[in-house]
């Protein structure tokens, strides 16, 4: 367990030394969501209707932005190799890295979403559902994304390939995440969406680090 926490600490410390890389994803999220009203027009009814979709798609792309770096820098400088040979299970270290990625690229989006939601005229309860859905959904995005990041490690044109591999797998998270807010706005119960999102998260917590570890060992061969 200490090795897990050490990995989280290490990646957070590294991000602290290179703040710009973390801020890129957050700025991207803020700017993209702010561009949509400018492109579509300030009609409150329409904006309210498309808000969940826009916020979720922006969150999806912002998470994707940080993914190529998840393992690439450690791969280049050889520290990933040391992790693979460490007495601690690689899966544990990988889980730590995924958690750090979520803390850096996912959690800021969750915290910013209610503020950005105000731009789209969402009321307080809808903002609450949006935040809750993102809280369940963004770790899922980090977990699934880590598999893609490991598979495309050190591969030609890795960034574009990563998007092609990962985005289709993100669709269920998008559907249920945005669906929860939409259902709530339409006056329906959002708990079904949220519990399905939670179920997928539980599934991913078990399988994604395992698949990522297997992919990393292959990439290091």
Q: Which residues bind other proteins (CB under 8 A)?
A: 2-3, 6-7, 9-10, 13-14, 17-18, 77-79, 81-89, 93, 147, 151-152, 155-158, 161, 164-165, 167-169, 171-172, 175-176, 179, 182-183, 196, 200, 207, 211, 214-215, 218-221
Nearer to other proteins, 101 or 116 (CB): 101
Nearer to other proteins, 7 or 142 (CB): 7
Nearer to other proteins, 161 or 198 (CB): 161
Give every CB contact of residue 172 below 8 A, 6+ residues apart in sequence. Answer: 200
Nearer to other proteins, 115 or 189 (CB): 189
Integer Cα distance of 77 and 16 in angstroms? 18
Least separation in angstroms between CB 136 and other proteins:
14
Give phi and psi for 190, each to the nearest 5. Answer: -95, 0
Least separation in angstroms between CB 38 and other proteins:
26
Give every CB contact of residue 15 below 8 A, 6+ residues apart in sequence. Answer: 21, 22, 100, 104
* CA separation, residue 31 to residues 55, 112, 214 (Å): 11, 12, 36
Nearer to other proteins, 17 or 39 (CB): 17
> What is the number of other CB atoms lying within 10 angstroms of the CB of residue 2?
8
Least separation in angstroms between CB 167 and other proteins:
8
* CA separation, residue 136 to residues 23, 43, 131, 166 (Å): 22, 30, 9, 18
Least separation in angstroms between CB 62 and other proteins:
21
Least separation in angstroms between CB 108 and other proteins:
20
Least separation in angstroms between CB 50 and other proteins:
13
Give every CB contact of residue 185 below 8 A, 6+ residues apart in sequence. Answer: 48, 49, 52, 122, 126
Give phi and psi for 43, each to the nearest 5. Answer: -70, 115
Nearer to other proteins, 114 or 169 (CB): 169
Integer Cα distance of 1 and 217 in angstroms? 21
């Amino acid at each position: 367990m200490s090795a897990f926490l050490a990995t989280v600490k290490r990646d957070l410390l590294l991000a602290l030394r290179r703040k710009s890389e973390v801020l890129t994803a957050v700025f991207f999220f803020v700017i993209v969501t702010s561009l949509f009203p400018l492109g579509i027009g300030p009609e409150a009814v329409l904006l309210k209707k498309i808000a969940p979709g826009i916020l979720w798609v922006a969150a999806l792309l912002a998470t994707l932005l940080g993914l190529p770096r998840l393992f690439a820098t450690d791969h280049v400088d050889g520290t990933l190799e040391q992790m693979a040979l460490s007495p601690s299970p690689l899966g544990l270290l990988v889980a730590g890295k995924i958690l750090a990625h979520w803390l850096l690229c996912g959690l800021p989006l969750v915290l910013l979403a209610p503020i950005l939601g105000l731009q789209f005229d969402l009321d307080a309860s809808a903002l609450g559902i949006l935040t809750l859905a993102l809280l369940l959904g963004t770790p899922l995005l980090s977990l699934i994304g880590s598999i893609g990041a490991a598979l495309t490690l050190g591969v030609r044109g890795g960034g574009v390939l990563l998007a092609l591999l990962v985005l289709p797998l993100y669709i269920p998270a998008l559907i249920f995440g945005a669906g929860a807010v939409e259902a709530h706005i339409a006056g329906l119960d959002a708990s079904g969406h949220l519990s399905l999102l939670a179920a997928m998260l539980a599934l991913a917590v078990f399988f994604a680090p395992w698949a990522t570890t297997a992919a990393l060992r292959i990439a290091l061969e």
